[in-house]
Amino acid sequence: MMTTSVKIPSLETDKHPLQNEGLRPPVTQCPDEPRSPGWFRHLKFFTAGLLLAIIAVRYVVPTFGGFKLGVPETPLDTKAVCPKTSAIVPHTHADILKKLEAEYANESFHDQAFAWLGGAVKIPTQMYDDMKQPGEDPRWDVFKKLHSYIDSHFDFVNLKKTNINTYGLVYHWQGSNTDLKPILFTAHQDVIPVAPDTINDWINPPFSGIWDGQWLWGRGSCDDKPGLIGSLAAVQKLGKAGFKPERTIVLAFGFDEEHGGIIGATKIRDHLLSTYGEDGFAILIDEGGFLEGRTDGVIATPAVAEKGHFDLRMVVSSAGGHSSVPPEHTSIGILAALIAELEANPHEPHLYRDEPYFTALQCQAILNSELDDDLRGLIKKSRSSDKALFDLEKKLFATDVLADALSKNTQAVDLIGGGVKSNALPENAYAVVNHRIAQHSSVSAVKAHIVDTLTPIAKKFNLTLDAFGDELHGMSNVVSSGHLKLTDAWGTALEPAPVTPWIENSAFDFLAGTIQTVVKTSKRWNNPDIPVAVAPGILSGNTDTRYYWKLTKNIFRYRHVSRFDKYNGAHTVNEAIFAEAFIDLIRFFTITILNADETDLLG
């Protein structure tokens, strides 16, 4: 793709950005002072009144126009507007990179790489929510096929392989300098199941692994077999090119990420902690953020944080009986009212200047020429104006579904059930509601919102209520019509992840500089001068890194693939990846390893 160069405006970088916007200093009492003369006291009263009037005009009056009450317009430090880094290029290993780049550009390697990925996609490593432990469920057997496939196609002379809880894979490539912390790449082997009734909707069969000359098709082609096969390919090619690392390299592949990593990632975590210790890795790179390429520039957004999650299970219990003599509302009818009330009272989205998404927006305003001019202006003004920030929220959330979702706690009713026969009243009806929790919120805040929203409905239908273990009886003086129980559906509630710093963090600078190099030397962009911005992102879902917080403070969720390189996204029909993007992903893993071996940014 031919591109044109656009210069990124220079930004001031002399201040620190992360301040608690809108928070006032605590009020302190002054010590007793000598009594002032009368005329001076009158002057003080006049001055105080004048100050109150100014405050009223500045803060109270604007609330009638929709401003936020009492929040001073505090400027955002411009260093966080859109972080700028220089490209990092391997020097000591320049010959190895030159050799591999020539090989990666060859059509024969493309054919081989696409065959590697396609072969892995053909193996249906589907993950179901009711999987038992390995050895207790035959559905795990397909993972043995994947392991045999990897062993037969990748020859790792220098790597030590460890199986964790049967199907977890950890590869260790020992470096010569034990003073350097290792780097860790993670991915997962499992994929979301394909619904049988959607098979005919696929352009190519869901486990075909077909490369049609442009796209590579099949479940897992986006999520996350490119990460699995791409990192394995890079390590193999580096070894065969004669690379001998100074810094140890570790690959860790879970096998039940799509079910929360409960069986796989937890055991891998324990192994990594016992082997390498807490904060034992310089950096961890997993799936997550992506890059967005346009003709006038590229924006990459490695996720520095993940939203938390909470799955609500609500169960309505009521008397059964023959449906020919029904009550006014069955348990299913009451459950429907509860669901409707939750959906009628969603959490409100907000933008916060010290959160990653706000920084990503600033990069968009600078680099994305397709951005609406009014929106671009609001984004820039919102750095220092709270009115502009408020107006930006209204405009952005009304037009951008993703922005709305990233900026609030989300809720989605995903499971429902109840009843056994059409002429029998259902004794129980249930629903499971998935919540993704924003950085500025918490599990307890989500629970409080649920209880506040549903308690009036429970009272309306005269239900007793068990709200997360708190029994609330006596909704009225009338005998209870039933019972509502609210619980954590799977016992897997998760607070939002710790945020990896992106300001004055050498690990972020390392990743950003590496991304710069991968983009600027890519045959796809064909433009060494293309502007590249790397901004922090936030992941709306969760990866296996939810269990890896103690392994390193530098967790980045990033796949070097454009969102335009995914035919229809993941977790749905017609999952496919633009095949050339997979080559650049292998290049990303390769250059990251070479740079990590030379840099002093990772310690």
Q: Which residue numbers are catalytic?
A: 190, 257
Helices (H), 421-553: 443-460, 506-520
Give the CA count within 13 Å in the CB-facing half-sphere of 565: 24
Dist CA 445 CA 307 (whole Å): 14
Query: Exposed/middle/buried for 78, CB within 10 Å: 0-12, 13-18, 19+?
Result: middle
Cβ-contact 113, 583 below 8 angstroms? yes
Could you tell me the two tokens for 146?
Answer: 């994947």
| SS (HEC) of 166-217 | CCEEEEEECCCCCCCCCEEEEEECCECCCCHHHHHHCCCCCCCCCECCCEEE
CA atoms within 13 A on the CB side of 103: 18
Sheet containing strand 410-418, edge to edge, reads 410-418, 428-437, 308-317, 482-488, 463-467, 470-472
Q: Give the residues across from 539 on adjacent strands.
A: 306
The set of residues, in sequence order, having a beta carbon less than 8 Å from that of 357 and lying 6+ positions away, is: 351, 403, 406, 407, 537, 538
H or E segment and range at residue 559: strand 555-562
Q: Tell me 24's DSSP state.
A: P
- Asked if 187 and 287 count as a contact pair (C-beta separation under 8 A), the reply is yes
Q: Report residue 220 as tokens.
A: 């897992």
* CB atoms inside a 10 Å sphere around CB 592: 26
Residue at token pair 């019972």 = 483
Q: How far is CA 118 from CA 121, 151, 193, 561, 577, in A?
A: 5, 16, 17, 17, 11
**Residue 136, helix vs strand vs coil:** coil
Binding-site members for Zn(2+) are 188, 223, 258, 286, 571
3-class SS shares of the chain: helix, strand, coil, % to 5: 35, 20, 45
